[in-house]
Amino acid sequence: MSLLFSPLSIRSVTFPNRLWVSPMCMYSAVDGVVQEWHHTHLTQFASGGAGLVIAEATGVVADGRISPRDTGIWNDAQRDAWAPIVQAIHDRGALAGIQLAHAGRKASTWWPWAEQRGSVAAADGGWTTVAPSAVAFAGFDEPAALDASGIERVVDGFRAAARRALEAGFDVLELHGAHGYLLHQFLSPLSNVRTDEYGGSLENRARLLLRIVDATREVAGDAVPMFVRISATDHAEGGFTPEEAAIVGGWAVEHGADLIDVSSGGLVAHQRIDVHPGYQVPLAETVRQGGRIPVSAVGLITAAEQAEQVLVDGAADAIFAGREWLRDPHFGLRAAHELDDTVAWPPQYVRARWR
């Protein structure tokens, strides 16, 4: 048996394999409510051999969405719309997760294929964004710095979203602390210039993330796996570093997280990234070894043997992929076929299993 298609148990959940679908924004919701597009998009991966399908960055509050077209889970109507999608993923043999998110200063933006760019004006359905400090992302409107009550609202938003996600049937909760969104903005000194207990030292900059880990674990209880996605480097001088990421990842696990989903970048427009196959795997390995914690790897992992080697080398405990699943929604079936391993094929597709 390959490592890629071996099971992985976390708390009360056993993942059938370690080839998982990353959360990928579709910018296709209406008032935060998922649509038929999301149902087809997410369930096809379950039919395609994924062990876990994580739904896209989903706003825990209305003003936490990246764009007005992002999914949400701040009300019961949104929760109820997610439930049949979760059930359909389960019916096809995969586990379902959701990424709970707040975009911070990168909220209220136009979706990728809109004619406009930058921040969405209030007249067009946009809103005033919030952040740790009144420091704008290049090309976006300046955010309002969160005060004490605003921070409490964020924590409460994650807590309530986690509860609704579990009510919808999700098996895994992931907190989005990467890609330049709010929790990452607190972690990085490039976006967090606060002088109170949420700024300055690494411990202070990690305080909000750890409070949210605590709040989410309280809701989730002892049985539900909880992941935290982080950007292990800002790819910019003076920013968040892999060494700091390993420390914060260790703290998150101490507070109740189970796995750190290691990505990178997204905080500043002047980042410089050397993009190549597997380019983020060394970051995952740094966090895994430095924090002595379980991690997943992501980043241009596009082939079965490549994914298997990451696990064999001990760089990660599981593999997330994004674009390859978009190119081939049956990536899991293909990968198992190429590794001459076993995965649960839908009976309708079994004729394609054999050479």
Which domains, ranges and CATH numbers included, belong to the chain?
8-352 (3.20.20.70)
List, for residues 234-277, the tens digit of each pLDDT value.
Answer: 999 999 999 999 999 999 999 999 999 999 999 999 999 999 99
List, for residues 304-348, the tens digit of each pLDDT value.
Answer: 999 999 999 999 999 999 999 999 999 999 999 999 998 888 988
Q: How far is CA 258 from CA 17, 229, 296, in A?
A: 17, 11, 11
Q: What is the pLDDT of residue 213?
A: 98
The catalytic site residues sit at: 181
Q: What is the pLDDT of residue 1?
A: 86
List, for residues 112-156, the tens digit of each pLDDT value.
Answer: 999 999 999 999 999 999 999 999 999 999 999 999 999 999 999
User: Cα–Cα distance between 114 and 97 in angstroms, integer?
Assistant: 28
List, for residues 270-299, the tens digit of each pLDDT value.
Answer: 999 999 999 999 999 999 998 899 999 999
Q: How far is CA 177 from the centre of its chain?
A: 8
**Mean pLDDT confidence for 201-225:** 98
Pick the closest to residue 201 from 214, 210, 209, 192 (CA basis).
192
Q: Work out the percent of the chain whose per-residue pLDDT is above 90.
A: 95
Would you say 12 and 24 are in contact if contact means Cβ atoms under 8 Å apart?
Answer: no
What tokens appear for 226 in the block?
Answer: 């909880």
The dihedrals phi and psi of 25, each to the nearest 5 degrees, come to -65, 135
What tokens appear for 101 in the block?
Answer: 């998110």
User: Cα–Cα distance between 240 and 262 in angstroms, integer?
Assistant: 13
Q: What is the pLDDT of residue 233?
A: 97
Residues linked to residue 10 through DSSP beta bridges, in sequence order: 13
Question: Over the Cα atoms of the chain, what is R_g?
Answer: 19
Q: Which H helix or E strand runs over 55?
A: strand 52-59
Mean pLDDT of the chain: 97
Q: Would residue 31 be called left, alpha or beta, if left means φ above 0 and alpha means ψ between -120 and 50 degrees?
A: left
Pick the closest to residue 344 from 67, 70, 12, 16 (CA basis).
16
